[in-house]
Copies of this chain bind each other. A is one copy, B any other.
Amino acid sequence: MSNLKVNIIIEALQKVLPAGRESVALHEPCFSGNEWTYLKECLDSGWVSSVGRYVDRFEGMLAEYTGVKRAVAVVNGTAGLHMCLKLVGVKGGDEVLMPALTFVATANAVVYCNAIPHFADSEERTLGIDPDKLWHYLHDIAEMRSEGCFNKKTGRRIKAVVPMHTFGHPVDLDTLVELCRQYKLELVEDAAESIGSFYKGRHTGSFGKVSALSFNGNKTITTGGGGAILTNDEELGKLAKHLTTTARIPHEWAIEHDAIGYNYRLPNINAALGCAQLEQLPGFLERKRNLAENYRKTFEGIDGVHFFTEPHFAKSNYWLNALVLEEDFADHRDELLEMTNKLGIMTRPAWTLMHKLTMFGNCPKMDLSVAESLGRRRLVNIPSSPVLGGSYA
């Protein structure tokens, strides 16, 4: 019975995916644009490192595409998140609200600030943080003081909320923005997965006071390793650039620094790759949406599972496509994972939930029943490369 269903799902996947390939990756990059030309220009000019025109150009292109005032290129998404939390004033001993269902970088970045992750539940319609449930929770545990929002149970200040746009699907940002206003919390978007994803027409990462993008090799566009900080606050943007480039005071020759700084700058050679990739983003997105639409149609009539589609208020990048198993089929998730991977169709479950990891086991958390159900039992990511959604010119 179960095997039958697993087989039906595998057949559906095979219908969408190209035949004759030995294996189909979860997400592979595509270098069909100016990557070559730009890399060569870097080598020929000798500018491969921390200074160079591609860093400026990449930052300009990112700001324009996402509609923010300032984008600062950094060495990866984790570094970007770390800086975002510093920039909004997260201090040692603060608590930071974030989803339990996320990649570990979100929680690690909080710990780099000597702060404490505080885990919130997700909702079925976005796979991201549930703002209404969080609102009720804060009503119970939060106490407003002149210094901000405090957790009555732990006595610690709650400084920020970090929603993550899971697999590229935007969370309900309007409600979260309102919640942050009411509780005097800083909004930092973990937009690591959501370049090319829009909430009510505005790009994800433009709602938070600062936000972080990622261009890791498995992302929609890649710089090898890389990320960016987005902000509409020009002063914070300047500070982001300063702190990520060792906080050096500009001078023709003297080498002086005025703060604890970080070596988080993106090398020029990686930025060159980023420029070429960003030029191709619209094409990548089109193909990824084609692929998602193929999945959606193919899984439409299949019992026990549905293909996750963007929330009504969003236009998603469909970074990682996801199947959601019905509760009564969830026990067969591992069977599905095992069989697909054996067949060379790369699939994977959601990340282990943050509160289940040893190092975060004692962190504060609300009821996490939806995250538990989705993350531990019901989510399966399936191949999502742009190349699977149409041929390249």
Chain A residues with a Cβ under 8 A of chain B: 28-31, 35-36, 39-40, 43, 46-51, 75-79, 103-105, 108, 111, 114, 216-218, 222-225, 246, 252-263, 265-270, 273, 337, 341, 347-352, 357-359
| Complex Cα–Cα for A80 and B277 (A) | 29
The 23 listed contacts between A and B (C-beta, < 8 Å) are: A28-B46, A29-B46, A29-B48, A30-B46, A39-B39, A47-B217, A49-B224, A49-B225, A51-B217, A75-B76, A75-B225, A78-B263, A104-B261, A108-B260, A224-B267, A224-B270, A253-B341, A254-B349, A255-B352, A258-B358, A258-B359, A267-B270, A269-B269
Contact assessment for A263 and B76 in the assembled complex, using a CB-CB cutoff below 8 Å: yes
Question: Closest approach, in angstroms, between the C-beta of A73 and any C-beta of chain B?
Answer: 11
- Chain B residue, CB-CB nearest to A346: B253
- Chain B residue, CB-CB nearest to A226: B267
| Complex Cα–Cα for A216 and B50 (A) | 8
| Complex Cα–Cα for A28 and B37 (A) | 21
Residues of B within 8 A of A257 (CB): 104, 352, 357, 359
Question: Closest approach, in angstroms, between the C-beta of A79 and any C-beta of chain B?
Answer: 7
Question: Closest approach, in angstroms, between the C-beta of A250 and any C-beta of chain B?
Answer: 14
Residues of B within 8 A of A347 (CB): 253
Would you list the 3 A-B pairs with minimal beta carbon distance, nearest first?
A49-B217, A224-B267, A78-B263
| Complex Cα–Cα for A56 and B252 (A) | 39
| Complex Cα–Cα for A78 and B359 (A) | 25
- Chain B residue, CB-CB nearest to A108: B260
| Complex Cα–Cα for A267 and B223 (A) | 9
| Complex Cα–Cα for A134 and B238 (A) | 40
Contact assessment for A267 and B77 in the assembled complex, using a CB-CB cutoff below 8 Å: no
Question: Closest approach, in angstroms, between the C-beta of A104 and any C-beta of chain B?
Answer: 5
Question: Closest approach, in angstroms, between the C-beta of A312 and any C-beta of chain B?
Answer: 29
